[in-house]
Structure 1
């Protein structure tokens, strides 16, 4: 099997499949002047784009500037699996874990968020290859089936169109020998092409009058009392409000990293499957899929029937976002092994793309809001890899906080509280290495690993 995996990775391109497109829009000009605006957005990923768009939709007359260090979607927004759902808190179970008193409100807000998401796609003709086959969580061990039953009951309790699938039913959906059971949530959830979504949102923002400057890195924020001055290498922007949509890069304030860890996620894309290969795996409803491995894997199909297969978190010292190990083939061999364990009938299939990069992990595993400079500056982040649709929600709440928290939802616990702080280096690195090793080996070896993971969960990270 090792030879099979090595052959499958032999010709892989080390770049995100989503961004490997000749039709990607040209970057906008870099900032070379000293400008004023009513709102500055820092970051050209999903949170930043949704923030700029919603600000203009609420108040078309305001002047909004967005600056991006690289090009739009070159960060986490260009790398995810692209599964979208009504959850704004990293899944229903996680929402119940962290905000049990607010869960009813969060469920309503999540539904409203997805309806707004869909409305934007429709009104602005954003073709992001959206497919609404639902979201499927699958058990890969008999011991996980009870937890899936609990997940199903939770979905039903809060009005979701969800069905429980026993072993025969889940394999009728997706033919994998690993799958023991599943919960299929069917209502307004599915998959999108994340880069095409980001490119479409960029077009919408420009149409609405947002001024976008790419290849413009924020070098510092200066508090001028009634406004902020954002400095870049060759220019500046002065504005009374600043939205920091900087994700795992945590730019804008040194304290952001106290509550956010830049972990790295690995992802593979296969070559397009043939008709025979598609018949061998089923998957006719084309759901977005998560499994219950301790080191979770997720997957989805693309428009041309590639399988995007991701998982296996890792951490580099000091949160280095681009360690050299991410460009080594051996890094992706365990993920390829998990793929062929899932689909042994696809032996001989090759991977076309492999990539990795930082995502913003917090103990909440969901978006939170950090306030700085007397709330003239708000950071929204910590989606922990589940931000493709939740980022629209996060941006909306951040804008309201900047506007004085005028809506009732911005005064709920999720918007006013913070996740736990995370130990600094070198303790952060040491703890991460032990935890990642335990995640990699817990399912096979057990032993001390499960007590360790339970301890980490007790600290706030729900990893076991």
Structure 2
């Protein structure tokens, strides 16, 4: 049940990502016109594609790398997330323990190595991405959420993380909400970043290294020519022996990819900049990125100009449209706005400046995986269901190693050598998604059939409860 308060707060919102709404956004590079050759083609100009292009050129400066992007850099998913970064490469430590318990220590080490490489690249290429090492918190929004926070705390402690377990007053001293009953605060190697500025900085670095970048160049087909592939685009083609499909939720590259990947839309709001009085009312002096324990999870952070970003309401559209018309209207954001005001009642009267949705790639692992096509000449790297801003570098590195035939220790690990479970096609996918979204909406307040349904989803591979 939505309120008039939510509708009023959204009345003047721009239905476009706050991160992309900048006068200093770079002009798009020229589309590919005509036919060309390359040693490596990267399809997709999001984080995975940009990291892959940079890593490929830095490992071999003589390698001719072409990157094509269907729209503009950062306009697909990479300019739309919350922008919380951490050492996790498998959608959180808890998820890594769920899906790959035998490899958890190795994955933890790889995650720390990945974050070191992430920060080194940002420093070496002078990428101005508003990166703040503020840590992250997982907060219990009721007493029912405290066992989950305790479990996460013990897991993080067991793997050497610098974490603190906060009680209710300690949590509210960090970020004041009457809902918060306790929290896990992970204090090192995590923080917040401006995702669009990061993507644009990676684009600039790739161009400086000699990557040929073509935006507004949608792929239209792939022809296998034996020893190489011909990737057709709207106005041209690329002939190449190796292709990395860095298309994540869009699942472009091969029709089979979608049998493992479903696109789900994640909705986000940003407020107007907080006044000094409003900042004092919420606290948040340490500016952590925050996740809560609601079944329909919410996450939140401060932007560089002190707006509150508040996200986490999921939606599904049949056949995965690139830019759903409904998400450019207030309706999908009303319940999210109500959740915001329930979390921060002291901000009564604040307005939302921006509202948007972004595509996430839902799989039964909730984490990056790899699919190989055309006899090894093409690899898909994707499946980020969140946590992808930093994990995308890891996915790009492992995807490139598989594509190039490099035998790294991690390419033989289970996460790299196997795929997630199959997901039913349409119309069954839409039917299941509709039931699941309804269950998520009412699980905490109404219970009933919703909890058994979500437990069933977890049993078949989607950890939604």
Task: Confirm or deny a common fold (TM above 0.5).
Answer: yes
User: 1:387: how far off?
Assistant: 0.6
1:392 corresponds in structure 2 to: 393
Does the CA-based 8 Å contact 1:262-1:321 persist in structure 2?
no
Query: Match of 2:291, SS?
Result: strand
1:309 corresponds in structure 2 to: 310
Does the CA-based 8 Å contact 2:41-2:238 persist in structure 1?
yes
Task: Describe how 1:257-268 pairs up with structure 2 within 5 A.
Answer: 257-268=258-269
- Distance, in Å, in 2 between the alignment partners of 1:287 and 1:144 is 19
User: 1:82: how far off?
Assistant: 0.1
Query: Match of 1:72, SS?
Result: coil
2:283 corresponds in structure 1 to: 282
Query: Match of 1:177, SS?
Result: coil
**CA deviations over 1:186-221 (Å, ceiling 9, x no partner):** 111000000000000000000000000011010011
2:72 corresponds in structure 1 to: 71
1:133 corresponds in structure 2 to: 134
Does the CA-based 8 Å contact 1:269-1:309 persist in structure 2?
yes
User: 1:300: how far off?
Assistant: 0.5
User: 1:320: how far off?
Assistant: 2.7
1:416 corresponds in structure 2 to: 417
- Give yes or no for the alignment of 1:331 onto 2:342: no
- Distance, in Å, in 1 between the alignment partners of 2:66 and 2:33 is 13
**CA deviations over 1:98-149 (Å, ceiling 9, x no partner):** 0001101100000000000000111111111111110100011211111111
- Distance, in Å, in 1 between the alignment partners of 2:460 and 2:429 is 13
Does the CA-based 8 Å contact 2:81-2:358 persist in structure 1?
no
- Give yes or no for the alignment of 1:3 onto 2:7: no
- Distance, in Å, in 2 between the alignment partners of 1:245 and 1:400 is 14
Instruction: Select between 313-322 and 330-339 the one with higher mean Cα deviation.
Output: 313-322
1:194 corresponds in structure 2 to: 195
Query: Where does structure 2 lack aligned partners over 5 or more consecutive residues?
Result: none
1:15 corresponds in structure 2 to: 16
1:94 corresponds in structure 2 to: 95
2:431 corresponds in structure 1 to: 430
**CA deviations over 1:194-253 (Å, ceiling 9, x no partner):** 000000000000000000001101001111111111001211111111000111111110
- Distance, in Å, in 2 between the alignment partners of 1:124 and 1:337 is 41
- Distance, in Å, in 2 between the alignment partners of 1:291 and 1:21 is 29
Does the CA-based 8 Å contact 1:321-1:357 persist in structure 2?
no
User: 1:178: how far off?
Assistant: 0.5
Does the CA-based 8 Å contact 1:405-1:411 persist in structure 2?
no
**CA deviations over 1:6-46 (Å, ceiling 9, x no partner):** 21111000100000011001000010021111100000000
- Distance, in Å, in 1 between the alignment partners of 2:131 and 2:398 is 25
**CA deviations over 1:388-443 (Å, ceiling 9, x no partner):** 00000000000000111411111100100110110111111000000000001110
- Give yes or no for the alignment of 1:80 onto 2:81: yes
1:122 corresponds in structure 2 to: 123
Task: Describe how 1:133-282 pairs up with structure 2 within 5 A.
Answer: 133-282=134-283
- Distance, in Å, in 1 between the alignment partners of 2:415 and 2:50 is 22
Query: Match of 2:454, SS?
Result: helix
Residues 354 and 308 of structure 1: CA distance in aligned 2, closer, same or farther (over 3 Å): same
User: 1:323: how far off?
Assistant: 2.5
- Distance, in Å, in 1 between the alignment partners of 2:253 and 2:110 is 28
Query: Match of 2:155, SS?
Result: helix
Does the CA-based 8 Å contact 2:86-2:387 persist in structure 1?
no
Alpha-carbon RMSD across the aligned residues, in angstroms, is: 0.9
Does the CA-based 8 Å contact 1:53-1:205 persist in structure 2?
yes
Does the CA-based 8 Å contact 2:138-2:184 persist in structure 1?
yes
2:361 corresponds in structure 1 to: 360
- Give yes or no for the alignment of 1:441 onto 2:439: no
Query: Match of 1:77, SS?
Result: coil
- Distance, in Å, in 2 between the alignment partners of 1:280 and 1:92 is 32
Q: In the comparison of the two structures, how many residue pairs are matched?
A: 464
- Distance, in Å, in 2 between the alignment partners of 1:320 and 1:36 is 31
- Distance, in Å, in 2 between the alignment partners of 1:39 and 1:161 is 40
User: 1:324: how far off?
Assistant: 2.2
User: 1:330: how far off?
Assistant: 1.7
Query: Match of 1:363, SS?
Result: coil
- Distance, in Å, in 2 between the alignment partners of 1:237 and 1:318 is 27
TM-score calculated relative to the size of structure 1 = 0.99
Query: Match of 2:360, SS?
Result: strand
Query: Where does structure 1 lack aligned partners over 5 or more consecutive residues?
Result: none
